[in-house]
Amino acid sequence: MEKTKVILLGDNIVSNLLKILLNKQKIDYVNLCLPKKKLETRFYAVKPSFYQWFEDNFKLPFSEFYPIKNIDIFFKQEKITFANEHSRPFTLFNMTNSDDIFKTIKHFKLHAATEVNDITVKTDINYISLTSQNIQGNLIINTDHRLNESLGVIETVNNTQEFAIVACFATKTSLENKAYQYFYNNQILAILPFEDNKFSIVLSAKDDVIKNLLSLSDQNFEKNIQKMCGLTSISLLTERQSYPILQSKVIKNNLSRMIIMGDAAHRVHPLAGQGLNLGFGDVVDFSSLINQSSYHDYGKANFIKKYNIKRAADETFIHYLTSTIDAMMIKQGDFFQPLMKLPTKLINNSNLIKKLLAEAMI
């Protein structure tokens, strides 16, 4: 039976970052994944603090990025502006292309994940093994949500009855490093620039609204987005992609010697752009524990408990934030949006509150 320190499951951004980390720490691992899905180009708002951590640890820039220096958030006619001065004074977010992230990862010349069709696990006090692959290790790290059920993971899943549309546009208007978020008619629209005249959108709404938007011609869809955001002369650059919005959180893991990270551990509403950042936080905190501990067996219960405690606060905050805003703006938007006038004015007039909110997110 093949023996290793870590059995890493999944082939995605989080799992590949873990491979970079394990290589640096000279920790033996085996990386397995289910048959791969076609990769779609996505744009992510990445925390500046993660860029700094990556460069400090691996002496290489994480990826090319487009800096967001201002974010205007609109609640119908009410507006809150977050600027550089509210974020210590780093740019609030760095817009990053998933293709560029994988180019950075390729620099490290990692071995590709081995595809398997099934995962059968047996656990013992001293080891965990994949019986179907004849591999034994101290610790399993799962980053692929599709494997949760077979690994005995129990999670709370909130089917929001909402869908999201993502697409890319060009505009004749210079975006000048500014992002926008609109809460409008029970819809949430994020305008995320990745060049001065190009931007990605994430539009979330109830199922029936999204179905109607997907049925529009490209020209009418462009008009709809233009009406919401006010940008002039916009044109669709990519096909519209749609996916259901599910919010989930692991509440119990029936296997000892397992840590769950990335989408396998938590899925959140895309409105705050924090889904991938939670996965980055998983990697950073795991790295911190490895550096601080004297463990030779990372599958020990105490090590796993420390990791779970370390991640709990960040995960709980983002879940609460996104779930609450979603409920207020989409599920009960007609009732709550008029009540937002007072808090938005309060926030907009207080640099202290803005700094506290910005620092919580970066």
Residue 238 lies in a domain: no
- Model confidence at 110: pLDDT above 90: yes
- Model confidence at 335: pLDDT above 50: no
For residues 336-342, give the mean pLDDT: 51
pLDDT value for 142: 96
Query: Which residue in 256, 249, 265, 259 sits closest to 322, CA to CA?
Result: 249
> Please, are residues 168 and 237 in contact by the beta-carbon 8 Å criterion?
yes
CA distance 138 to 296: 9
Confidence of residue 337 (pLDDT cuts 50, 70, 90): low
Residue 336 lies in a domain: yes
More confident residue, 210 or 85: 210
Q: What tokens appear for 18 in the block?
A: 């873990």
Per residue in 222-245, pLDDT tens? Answer: 999 999 888 888 999 999 999 998
Query: Which residue in 18, 280, 241, 255 sits closest to 121, CA to CA?
Result: 255
pLDDT value for 330: 62
Per residue in 37-67, pLDDT tens? Answer: 887 889 999 999 999 999 999 999 999 999 9
Residue 237 lies in a domain: no
Confidence of residue 185 (pLDDT cuts 50, 70, 90): confident
- Model confidence at 336: pLDDT above 50: no
pLDDT value for 339: 46
Dihedral sign, Cα of residue 339, residue 344, residue 346, residue 352: positive
pTM, entire model:
0.90
| The dihedral formed by the CA atoms of 187, 218, 197 and 81, expressed in degrees to the nearest 10 | -10
Structurally, how many domains does the chain consist of?
Answer: 1
**Amino acid, single-letter form, for residue 128:** I
Residue 29 lies in a domain: yes
Bond from prior residue into 35 cis (ω within 30 degrees of 0)? no
Tally helices (H) and strands (E) across the chain. Answer: 10, 19
Q: Cα(first)–Cα(last) distance of the chain, in Å?
A: 44
- Model confidence at 342: pLDDT above 60: no
Summary mean pLDDT of the chain: 88
Residue 211 lies in a domain: no
Residue 257 lies in a domain: yes
For residues 166-170, give the mean pLDDT: 96
- Find the domain containing 315 and state its range: 2-157+245-361
Residue 183 lies in a domain: no
> Which CATH number goes with the domain that contains 94?
3.50.50.60
- Model confidence at 279: pLDDT above 80: yes
For residues 109-116, give the mean pLDDT: 94
Residue 70 lies in a domain: yes
For residues 271-296, give the mean pLDDT: 89
Confidence of residue 158 (pLDDT cuts 50, 70, 90): confident
Confidence of residue 343 (pLDDT cuts 50, 70, 90): low
pLDDT value for 184: 80
For residues 281-286, give the mean pLDDT: 97
Chain centroid, CA 204 distance in Å: 16
